[in-house]
Chain A
């Protein structure tokens, strides 16, 4: 595709988004293709009783209202979303609406695969009675966290994952652990008892971005307003992260940043080493080990509950939250409950393709029609319906309530942590390699005893410096201004 065609396509899309405040999809008629990921209705291979129906019902309601428009859900598994997006976009055949991680769209995926929804968010959503701007019904912190440095917002985001420590009650009982850990020393003690009983406490890749959120949110809690305020918006955006790195706050230059690594190592020293240095993508194996009762605990998202159901887990599963830290664990501990620290969105995270990534979006009026469909399903009422049925994600928009389908599980811990106020500090989103890749490698090497903390600090500093520079270069941001 030549440059002129690209620019023309993008120029055509931008005013369409800005000027589509009306209630109807316009005159365009045809099929809107959507890849809804975890909210996909009628997914083949799923047991009938576990099939989701609500998105199809919402689509039926829309089709009834606008005859001639069809909503078609893609019902095949997509093992690697980013690769799918790249490949289909390069062919100009991307789905009209698709699930994608906001941070991928802001960093590693090519510009132009998703339309900027920010102008539409400033317009009223006609399907929300009395609404003046669609963004008024959204979670402001979440909106800011997904915001690109250029002001664009590529995803319509409305839910989040609750991270917790699932445990196998039978294995705990077998090891003689009668009290569910509520403090860090209790967690370590329980792990040692499990080990002594010949049971692996945990058998996983310790995902740096997830665990770090709990510790950093605690240790930096007094600086929360400062660390989330560089961009003038609520929540910690990638820009906030990059500025904090640049200022030497979210880096080993500040003792709080990595002082939790030895604390975490106490815990991982009770795990088998196989996964400590591995890729987080290999956590799938750890899940298999939990389901196969080879390990007693699993630190994962609430979405795993549904996967456990699908995997036919029969043993009793409980959950307990990340424990509060005390001064005994770290002099930086502030006593804040950070069980709810993990931020970001989950399954309700939808982007709209552009005329560049999807040739059919060049059809006159289609962009407006697709956006209208997003407005239709993107109301608090529909978000509530979808999350309540899916049962593993917590809706985040004001007025919605969490209804997790955890009937077979001891879900008290998850429901308790969701009620906590959202406060989250981490170093993950400013650059592609910042959490899941390069920092994860250093973290794994330290936890497995292959490098010292000082060596880890030096390597982490290099990664962070590069990340901040990459962010500034790619987004043309002068970090020294902040």
Chain B
């Protein structure tokens, strides 16, 4: 049988898997090193985490099988309960921060007149990506001090009553960490949305204009529906990132005051590195993994359902 130009012959149902492998062996050969590395550095650690979550491993000696004891401990630990609540708040607010400010800024810049001006503003919002995140955290830590920039700013505009011990008050510490990094324009999310706007054909905008869809109406009726793939991707990445995130509580508050800024990922980190209880830490890691999968699935399902 001769294949038509531009078309691959459809595989014969008689061909088995082995035959397909044999036929595509050069491609599989090139893929093999990558697959081996991914397997060793990504899947194997995950396998270790899952299997050792059922042990009391101390990181050095032979692990002892303890069944579901670590999981029982995790779900009954009151600190884990507070950490989970903190994480839930972080995920919800983090999702809003990941979506809204980058969307607003990308819309504003996309509709600026003049390519050069757009380029300049785009660059302005992307350049901070070169600043190490740790530096940003330390700077914000000093902003939040009782004698820091934030309190001085409030005092200078006559709002001394709003001065606060931002990081040492359990009522404000978590929100201070979540809302750290004004104006919250994540460069990656911003570029993703900006590229999404650029991908919308000019004809669509022109047609919308003729139909009277301008300003907010255009954003709601045209931009948002057409940016759904980008928004969906950002949402999934933000959920995964915020469930696993623990750097700013680690650096600025160590999970305090009390456990006001403790999140499960930080608890996992402390349990392993400070307390040396790797089995328990891995049980927390497995629970987080399950949560990430569930939330990601939920977000995909919601995103599909709204189409």
Contacts and interface: CB of A to CB of B under 8 A. Distances in A.
B256 interface: yes
B166 to A, nearest CB: 9
B276 A279 contact: no
Contacts of B170: 277, 445, 450
B146 A110 contact: no
Given A86-B276, A433-B275, A450-B170, A277 B258 contact: yes
Given A272-B146, A273-B146, A445-B170, A112 B60 contact: yes
A444 interface: yes
A3 B62 contact: yes
A347 B250 CA distance: 27
Given A6-B61, A278-B256, A273 B275 contact: no
B230 to A, nearest CB: 39
A214 interface: no
Interface string A108-144: 1111110000000000000000000000000000000
A245 interface: no
B274 A274 contact: no
Contacts, number: 88
A441 B168 contact: no
B257 A110 contact: no
Contact of B168 (A2, A90, A277, A442): A277
A90 B61 contact: no
Looking at chain B's contact residues, is the secondary structure mostly helix, strand, loop, or mixed? loop
B154 to A, nearest CB: 16
B257 A444 contact: yes
B257 A277 contact: yes
A305 interface: no
A432 B275 contact: yes
A46 interface: no
Contact of B167 (A90, A274, A432): A274
Interface string B156-175: 00000000010111100000
Interface in A257-274: 272-274
A83 B257 contact: no
Contacts of A112: 60-61
A272 B147 contact: yes
Interface string B106-141: 000000000000000000000000000000000000
Interface residues of A, number: 37
Nearest to A448: B168
A445 B254 contact: no
Contact of B60 (A90, A273, A442): A90
A282 B254 contact: yes
Contacts of A276: 168
B67 interface: no
A89 interface: yes
A273 B165 contact: yes
Nearest to A275: B168
A441 B59 contact: no
Contacts of B259: 441
Contacts of A444: 168, 256-258
B281 to A, nearest CB: 12
Given A2-B62, A86-B60, A281-B254, A274 B276 contact: no
B258 A110 contact: no
A253 B206 CA distance: 77
A110 B278 CA distance: 10
Contacts of B61: 6, 110-112, 356
B273 interface: yes
A92 to B, nearest CB: 10
B253 interface: yes
Interface string B245-278: 0000000011011110000000000000111100
Interface in B255-307: 256-259, 273-276
Contacts of A441: 256-259
A152 interface: no
A40 interface: no
Interface in B50-91: 58-62
B60 A89 contact: yes
Contacts of B169: 448, 450
Best-surrounded residue of A90, A276, A278 (most CB of chain B within 10 A):
A278
A379 interface: no
B228 interface: no
B69 to A, nearest CB: 12
Nearest to A450: B170
Contacts of B257: 277-278, 441, 444-445, 448, 450
B218 interface: no
Contacts of B254: 278-279, 281-282
B165 A274 contact: yes
Given A108-B275, A432-B274, A113 B60 contact: yes
Nearest to B171: A450
A160 B59 CA distance: 30
A432 B274 CA distance: 9
B146 A274 contact: yes
A196 interface: no
A90 B272 CA distance: 14
Contacts of A279: 253-254, 256
Can you list the 8 inter-chain pairs with the closest CB atoms, starting with the nearest?
A277-B257, A279-B254, A110-B60, A110-B58, A3-B62, A108-B276, A273-B165, A277-B168
Interface of A: 1-3, 6, 82-83, 86, 89-90, 108-113, 272-279, 281-282, 356-357, 432-433, 437, 441-442, 444-445, 448, 450-451
25 contacts: A3-B62, A82-B274, A86-B276, A90-B59, A110-B58, A110-B59, A111-B58, A112-B60, A112-B61, A272-B146, A272-B147, A274-B165, A277-B257, A278-B254, A278-B257, A356-B61, A432-B274, A432-B275, A441-B258, A444-B168, A444-B257, A445-B170, A445-B258, A450-B170, A451-B258
Given A274-B167, A278-B253, A441-B259, 6 more contacts: A82-B273, A111-B60, A112-B60, A277-B168, A277-B258, A356-B60
